[in-house]
Amino acid sequence: MSEVLERVRKIVIDHLDADPDKVTEKASFIDDLEADSLDIVELVMAFEEEFDIEIPDDSAEHILTVGDAVNYIQDKLAA
Amino acid sequence: MFELTGKTALVTGATGGLGAEIARALHKQGAKVVLSGTRENVLADLAAELGDNAFIAAANLSDSASVDGLVAKAEEAAGSGLDILIANAGITRDGLLMRMKDEDWDTVIKVNLEAYFRLARAATKGMMKRRSGRIIGITSVVGVTGNPGQTNYAASKAGMIGFSKALAQEVGSRGITVNCIAPGFIASPMTEELNDAQRATILQRIPAGALGNGADIAAAAVYLASNEAGYVTGHTLHVNGGMAMI
Ligand SMILES: NC(=O)c1ccc[n+]([C@@H]2O[C@H](COP(=O)([O-])OP(=O)(O)OC[C@H]3O[C@@H](n4cnc5c(N)ncnc54)[C@H](OP(=O)(O)O)[C@@H]3O)[C@@H](O)[C@H]2O)c1
């Protein structure tokens, strides 16, 4: 498992108080992990802080699953 | 009760009658206060009066960029995250609607309502992370009752109330409350210029039989800012001596 995935999973598990087994790359924040729209705003803020990056609102809109977040962050870190 | 030690508050319009009293009262309860306004010498005098735990962050609220930067500036001045936002600065540009200039409408909406939106948006971020916060807008009885010659002002103040209710619902689950205080007729340099007849007419409408003073508003602000008021949100607290029972 990639390091980014592990860090993202940890944030998601902590923040949503989610069952670690459910926090897979495919998991949708809203459909599978019971996040609401405010949780998503907070998760994005937490990712920004953890990885020291900025995630503009129009990109954040496309981050729907754990995997989306990991891909976005990896691209951003590579750039 | 109503202890604010360890909290940091930003008060806009701290150079004005009500703002200065609010800042003094929060400070007295132990809060660090960041004073904002445009008249830097008046801010400096008040900061000197309060001594420790008082800081200055001047900003012109009719300039969007300055408003957007004010919360960060205040946090930097105080060296701590913002727990309490008091959006108190406000202006009037009175006139009958048929004679109202675009500029009078725009300026009042900008300083009274838009600045509240921008400040609350900036303050909410840190408050969400800390899972606590107090956002308080100083509106007016006129925002609920209306008043001839004040369509712009009444719209801005009613707007603050609706805004606060919507935001209160958005952030309620994060320990942040959003409330308004609606002063009625408060003694100020302006009301000192009323003649006896004018004063008597006004007092007839106030069951309490007197104008309010800044301390009446400041006490309401201390309450809503306190931990004890944590279960009060989306509310407008009317402090008007019974002038309008709403
Ligand atoms: N007094 C009353 O009877 C009464 C009744 C109902 C509601 N209110 C509300 O209570 C609040 C305070 O009223 P007050 O009586 O204390 O008024 P005030 O003495 O006239 O003070 C107004 C404050 O707003 C600030 N302000 C105005 N334009 C600004 C701008 N462009 N940028 C930054 N700051 C600006 C002023 O700061 P600078 O002078 O430093 O620019 C001043 O500190 C207002 O929102 C008012 O609508 C008052």
Share of residues in chain B with pLDDT > 90 (%) = 95
Annotated binding site of B for NADP(+): 38, 88, 153-157, 186
The mean pLDDT of chain A is 95
Proportion of chain A in helix, strand, coil states, percent, rounded to 5 = 60, 5, 35
How many inter-chain contacts (A to B, CB under 8 Å) are there?
A: 11
Residue A32 has pLDDT above 90, yes or no: yes
Residue A4 has pLDDT above 60, yes or no: yes
The mean pLDDT of chain B is 97
Average pLDDT over residues B93-107: 97
Residue B22 has pLDDT above 80, yes or no: yes
Residue A79 has pLDDT above 90, yes or no: no
The residues, any chain, with a CB within 8 Å of residue B170's CB and separated by 6 or more, are: A38
Q: DSSP character for B209?
A: S
**Residue A2: pLDDT band by 50, 70, 90 thresholds?**
confident
The residues, any chain, with a CB within 8 Å of residue B149's CB and separated by 6 or more, are: B94, B95, B96
Q: What is the number of alpha carbons within 13 Å of residue B120 lying toward its C-beta?
A: 28
Average pLDDT over residues B161-185: 98
**Sheet with B176-183: strands ordered across:** B54-56, B32-35, B8-11, B84-87, B133-138, B176-183, B236-239
What does the alpha-carbon distance between residue A4 and residue B236 come to, in Å, rounded to a whole number?
46
Nearest to A70 by CA among A54, A56, A51, A52: A51
Q: Both tokens of residue B182?
A: 């609606």
Nearest to B240 by CA among B212, B204, B209: B212
Residue B9 has pLDDT above 80, yes or no: yes
Q: What is the dihedral of CA B91, B97, B99, B101, to 10 degrees?
A: 50
Residue B114 has pLDDT above 90, yes or no: yes
What does the alpha-carbon distance between residue B85 and residue B194 come to, in Å, rounded to a whole number?
33
**Residue B198: pLDDT band by 50, 70, 90 thresholds?**
confident
* Annotated catalytic residue within A17, A36, A52, A68: A36
Residue B188 has pLDDT above 90, yes or no: no
Residue B234 has pLDDT above 70, yes or no: yes
Model pLDDT for residues B28-81, shown as the tens digit of each residue:
999 999 999 999 999 999 999 999 999 999 999 999 999 999 999 999 999 999
Average pLDDT over residues A35-57: 95
Give the distance from residue B129's alpha carbon to the nearest chain A alpha carbon, in angstroms: 8
Task: Provide, as residue numbers in chain B, all residues whose Cβ is less than 8 Å from the Cβ of A38.
Answer: 128, 170-171, 173-174
Average pLDDT over residues A58-79: 94
Residue B190 has pLDDT above 90, yes or no: no
Residue B99 has pLDDT above 70, yes or no: yes
**Residue A27: pLDDT band by 50, 70, 90 thresholds?**
very high
Give the domains, in start order, of chain B with CATH numbers: 8-236 (3.40.50.720)
The residues, any chain, with a CB within 8 Å of residue A59's CB and separated by 6 or more, are: A72
Give the distance from residue B132's alpha carbon to the nearest chain A alpha carbon, in angstroms: 14
Residue ranges with strand state E in B30-70:
32-35, 54-56
Q: In this structure, which amino acid lies at residue A14? A: D
Q: How far is CA B52 from CA A36, A48, B46, B174, in A?
A: 42, 35, 11, 31
Are B129 and A45 a contacting pair at CB < 8 A? yes
What does the alpha-carbon distance between residue B138 and residue B143 come to, in Å, rounded to a whole number?
11
- The residue whose CA has the least distance to atom 13 of ligand 1 is B18
Q: Check: CB of residue B137 under 8 Å from CB of residue B115.
A: no
Across the interface, which of B125, B170, B173 has its CB nearest the CB of A45? B125
Which is the closest atom of ligand 1 to the Cα of B191? 3
Overall pTM > 0.90: yes
Cβ–Cβ contacts within 10 Å for residue B146, how many? 14
The reported pLDDT for the residue numbered A1 is 56
Exposed, middle or buried: residue A22 (CB in 10 Å: 0-12, 13-18, 19+)?
Answer: middle
**Residue B85: pLDDT band by 50, 70, 90 thresholds?**
very high
Q: In this structure, which amino acid lies at residue B199? A: R
Residue ranges with strand state E in B130-184:
133-138, 176-183
Residue A56 has pLDDT above 90, yes or no: yes
Residue A9 has pLDDT above 80, yes or no: yes
Q: Which CATH architecture has domain A1-76?
A: Orthogonal Bundle (1.10)
What does the alpha-carbon distance between residue B184 and residue B182 come to, in Å, rounded to a whole number?
7
The reported pLDDT for the residue numbered B83 is 98
Let me know if A57 is a catalytic residue: no
State whether residue A71 is helix, strand or coil. Answer: helix
